[in-house]
Amino acid sequence: MSFSTCSFIKKMRVRHKYSETGSKFLKKNDTKYVVREDFLHYIWKHNLVASTHLATTQNEVVQVLHSGVHNHHSGPDFFNAQLIIGKQRWAGNIEIHSKSSDWYVHGHEKDSNYDTVILHVVWEHDIDIHRKDNSTIPTLELKKYIDKTILKNYQHLFSASHKWINCENDLASVDTFLVDNWLERLYIERLEQKSILIQNLLNISKNDWEAVLFKLLSKNFGLKVNGDAFLQLANSVDFAVIRKERHRLESIEALLFGQAGLLNDTIQDGYYKQLQKEYRYLQKKYHLTFITKPQFQFFRLRPYNFPTVRLAQLAALLYCQQNLFSKIMAVKSLKEFYALFDIAVSPYWKTHYSFTAVSKQSSKKLTKPFIDLVIINTIAPLQFIYLHYTHEFNEEALLNSLREINPEKNAIINKFKKLHIIAENAMESQALLQLKNTYCSKQKCLQCVIGNALVTTS
């Protein structure tokens, strides 16, 4: 039997042996550990080995001149590394696995993207890996070189069970200056993520900022329960139609309620019939198609959050504050924001929650907490991307504006409060939401400044 045939059979046996269990998760067996690959990436990227005297499993000395660029997409884990192995200088890519055999489990031997791998870095070496020409790929077994304190800290961080977040017992011990700076970075990261939706909307609207503002405001006015339905409503009508009709409040209300599919019933109400008539005229004039009514939820909502009330408030805002985008970009203080959104609904909605639910007389103005949400979720992200476009971005000014707003109140913020991480303002509450949803919940502790501090502490 030829060498290549033996090698092929050996690969198949290894793949069968490890394909069921894999080796991604941390395990402990006395003093023997098998660690997650992201930990090995972290060690390699930050050069956290306990020794400078590295050697391959074939006892060839390894000198790391450059560890490479971390690749977060498909292909080898680190690109363009530079090494000296034995007496030979190499330039190429690094692949990292928990076990050597994972090379075959993942099918890398069939992928030409891995032909340029010059070093296989593993936690545990359990089989030699070969290139297509049957030459052995040098392997570095990291478990011989990782600092025991770092390994112990890592094990402690990830061995926790039934916890809300991995570091909840140690979070309070992390330096507050480090946490504060991390929260600022997390908030900017959150704005960058929200910018993706804004950029998509800008592309669709051909950089019509006023139209994008309308869509973002619509989503925000729908809150969590009806946000998607409100955005669908905004997308169903060209903003050019809003521009033409916003000089009459009745026309704007007819457009919004009609497009929402909320004017299709038979209701014995004079104002309802008036809006129906107006919408039929506008529908024919602009060739409009309304969205389906079941998109909007009333169940378990407080009357002030009924979609009908929020649509009436949105209509009033569009009517009272025309050219709203320019006005928003000119605002310099939180007080000016509150004044800009100080609008009252039409007389009908001052005594109604819906077309069939009467209320006591009230202005149904936008409350300050609701305006705060609009600033947090719509205005700040829009300012962020617009000021980048105009090359006038001032990070500190944006952070300070959010520091003036009270923190949000929700289950995540309350949970952090119990762990003695208290959000003092909206910037910090937004940052904590980003921390929990993007890092804690996804077990990305090694990409988190707090997790880094806990792993590397001596």
Q: Do the domain assignments include residue 345?
A: yes
Token pair, residue 214, equals: 């309308």
Whether residues 147 and 212 share a domain: the answer is no
pLDDT surpasses 60 at 29: no
SS3 of 126, please?
A: coil
The answer to whether 412 and 436 are in contact (CB under 8 A) is: yes
Report if residue 351 sits inside a domain.
yes
**Please, are residues 404 and 424 in contact by the beta-carbon 8 Å criterion?**
no
Residues 146 and 189 in one domain: no
Do 65 and 198 lie in a common domain? Answer: no
CA distance 317 to 339: 12
Q: Which residue has the higher pLDDT, 365 or 21?
A: 365
CB contact set of 443 (below 8 Å; sequence gap of 6+) = 158, 166
Classify residue 347 by burial, with Cβ atoms within 10 Å: 0-12, 13-18, 19+: exposed
Residue 375, helix vs strand vs coil? helix
Residue 343's domain comprises 185-403
Indicate whether 74 belongs to any domain.
yes
The confidence score (pLDDT) of residue 293 equals: 67
Same domain, yes or no: 143 and 214: no
Residue 31: Cβ-neighbour burial (10 angstroms; 0-12, 13-18, 19+): exposed
Bridging pattern class, strands 117-124 and 139-141: parallel
Query: Do residues 204 and 80 share a domain?
Result: no
In a domain, 173, yes or no: no
Domain co-membership, 63 together with 212 = no
Residues 233, 255 contacting (CB under 8 angstroms): no
**Dihedrals φ, ψ of 110, to 5°?**
-100, 0
Q: Within a domain: residue 226?
A: yes
Q: Of 374, 403, 432, at which residue does a domain stop?
A: 403
Q: 198 and 126 in one domain?
A: no
Residues 189, 130 share a domain: no
In a domain, 303, yes or no: yes
Give the integer Cα–Cα distance in Å for 289 and 39.
53
Number of neighbouring beta carbons within 10 Å of residue 39: 26
Distance CA 36, CA 40 (A): 7
Last residue of a domain, one of 133, 151, 169: 151
Helix then strand then coil, in percent of the chain rounded to 5, is 55, 10, 35
pLDDT of residue 294: 65
pLDDT in tens, 391-438: 888 888 889 999 999 999 999 999 999 999 999 999 999 999 999 999
In total, how many domains does the chain have?
2
Q: What's the pTM?
A: 0.84
The one-letter amino acid code at 416 reads F
Predicted confidence (pLDDT) per residue in 335-386, tens digit: 999 999 999 999 999 999 999 999 999 999 999 999 999 999 999 999 999 9
Residues 293-331 have pLDDT tens digits of 668 999 889 999 999 999 999 999 999 999 999 999 999
Residue for token pair 């570091």:
167
Tell me, yes or no, whether 110 and 191 share the same domain. Answer: no
Q: Is residue 441 part of a domain?
A: no
CA distance 114 to 102: 13
Q: Are residues 114 and 57 in the same domain?
A: yes
Residues 222 and 356 in one domain: yes
pLDDT of residue 51: 76
End-to-end, the C-alpha distance of the chain in Å comes to 54
Q: Which of 17-21, 160-164, 223-227 is the least confident region?
A: 17-21
Q: Which residue has the tokens 């979720």?
A: 377
**Vertex 361 angle, CA 358 and 363, to 5°:** 115
**CA–CA distance from 339 to each of 26, 163, 342, 406 (Å)?**
55, 44, 5, 17
Instruction: Please say whether the beta carbons of 310 and 226 come within 8 A.
Output: yes
Rg of the chain, C-alpha, whole Å: 29
Can you give the pLDDT at residue 295? 82
Please determine, for residue 90, whether its predicted confidence score (pLDDT) is greater than 50. yes
Q: What are phi and psi of 342, to 5 degrees?
A: -85, 80
The span from the CA of 383 to the CA of 375, in Å, is 10
In 3D space, the residue among 249, 232, 377 whose CA is nearest the CA of residue 317 turns out to be: 249
Asked if 169 and 160 count as a contact pair (C-beta separation under 8 A), the reply is yes
Are 124 and 246 found together in one domain? Answer: no
Residue 347 in domain: yes
Rounded Cα gap, residues 151 and 123, in angstroms: 12
